């Protein structure tokens, strides 16, 4: 999560945060299915997780299980949402309104429970001043510093070409954005206090390739 992290590296704490998010997704599913309690064992089996790991992860943050009953689905879901900070809405901006930026703008997960995309930024005159479906504005990249002064932005998503990624990062940092999700295939320099998460989609392909080879 620091500026020295390569794409895809997972320090222990980042892996744990990732697991909390996976647990939350499972709990939401259970709630939708009408389940009120579940044991760590059943939870693990249902979602192909490790029950000892679940107990260990949750124990870091308090005592949630009830002996002989398991976890209360709704209360654990609430608690995890709080731990993940998604009980308060986070404002997200998408830097880059090309195919990737527009795909992310339309991606359900980027505009639901806990997150709200407030604007896209681009340098293309043909895009600046337009709105995407849903009314999301595409603003001029040069206007980002002024935008960041008047609007609280929690997370900046880098969806610009590699050669513009550092300049965009610098503008986000200067504007007070503390967390950056980077889709550009380049290592970004940012102060230690800024959380930079690099997305490396090739890891997903390689995982599939591993299974094809080893099955």
Task: Report in angstroms how near the CB of residue 115 gets to a copy of itself at its nearest.
Answer: 6
Rounded Cα distance, 175 and 79, in Å = 31
Nearer to a copy of itself, 13 or 75 (CB): 13
Contacts of 84 (CB under 8 A, 6+ apart): 17, 20, 21, 24, 114
| DSSP symbol at 131 | B
Whether 81 contacts 114, CB under 8 Å: yes
Nearer to a copy of itself, 126 or 208 (CB): 208
Task: Report in angstroms how near the CB of residue 14 gets to a copy of itself at its nearest.
Answer: 6
Task: Report in angstroms how near the CB of residue 145 gets to a copy of itself at its nearest.
Answer: 21
User: Max Cα separation, the chain?
Assistant: 62
Nearer to a copy of itself, 146 or 151 (CB): 151
Whether 121 contacts 92, CB under 8 Å: no
In terms of C-beta density within 10 A (0-12 exposed, 13-18 middle, 19 or more buried), how is residue 161 classed? Answer: middle
Whether 137 contacts 131, CB under 8 Å: yes
Which of 76, 157, 144, 65 is closest to 111 using CA atoms?
157
Task: Report in angstroms how near the CB of residue 63 gets to a copy of itself at its nearest.
Answer: 19
Nearer to a copy of itself, 67 or 193 (CB): 193
Task: Report in angstroms how near the CB of residue 147 gets to a copy of itself at its nearest.
Answer: 19
Nearer to a copy of itself, 146 or 210 (CB): 210
Rounded Cα distance, 71 and 133, in Å = 40
Rounded Cα distance, 8 and 202, in Å = 10
Task: Report in angstroms how near the CB of residue 173 gets to a copy of itself at its nearest.
Answer: 14
Nearer to a copy of itself, 38 or 83 (CB): 83
């Amino acid at each position: 999560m620091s500026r020295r992290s390569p794409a895809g590296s997972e320090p222990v704490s980042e892996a744990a945060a990732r697991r909390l998010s996976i647990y939350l997704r499972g709990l939401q599913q259970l709630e939708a299915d009408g389940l009120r309690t579940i044991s760590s064992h059943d939870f693990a089996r249902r979602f192909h997780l490790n029950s000892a790991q679940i107990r260990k992860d949750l124990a870091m943050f308090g005592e949630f299980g009830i002996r002989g009953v398991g976890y209360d689905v709704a209360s654990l879901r609430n608690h995890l949402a709080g731990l993940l900070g998604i009980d308060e809405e986070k404002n997200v901006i998408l830097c880059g309104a090309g195919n990737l930026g527009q795909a992310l703008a339309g991606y359900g997960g980027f505009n639901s429970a806990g997150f709200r995309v407030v604007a896209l930024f681009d340098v293309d005159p043909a895009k600046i001043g337009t709105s995407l479906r849903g009314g999301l504005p595409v603003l001029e990249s040069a206007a980002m510093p002024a935008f960041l002064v008047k609007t609280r932005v929690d997370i900046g998503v880098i969806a610009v070409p590699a050669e513009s990624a550092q300049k965009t990062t610098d503008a986000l940092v200067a504007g007070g954005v503390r967390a950056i999700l980077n889709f550009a295939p380049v290592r970004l320099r940012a102060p230690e206090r800024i959380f930079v998460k690099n997305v490396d989609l090739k890891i997903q392909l390689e995982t599939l390739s591993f299974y094809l080879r080893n099955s």
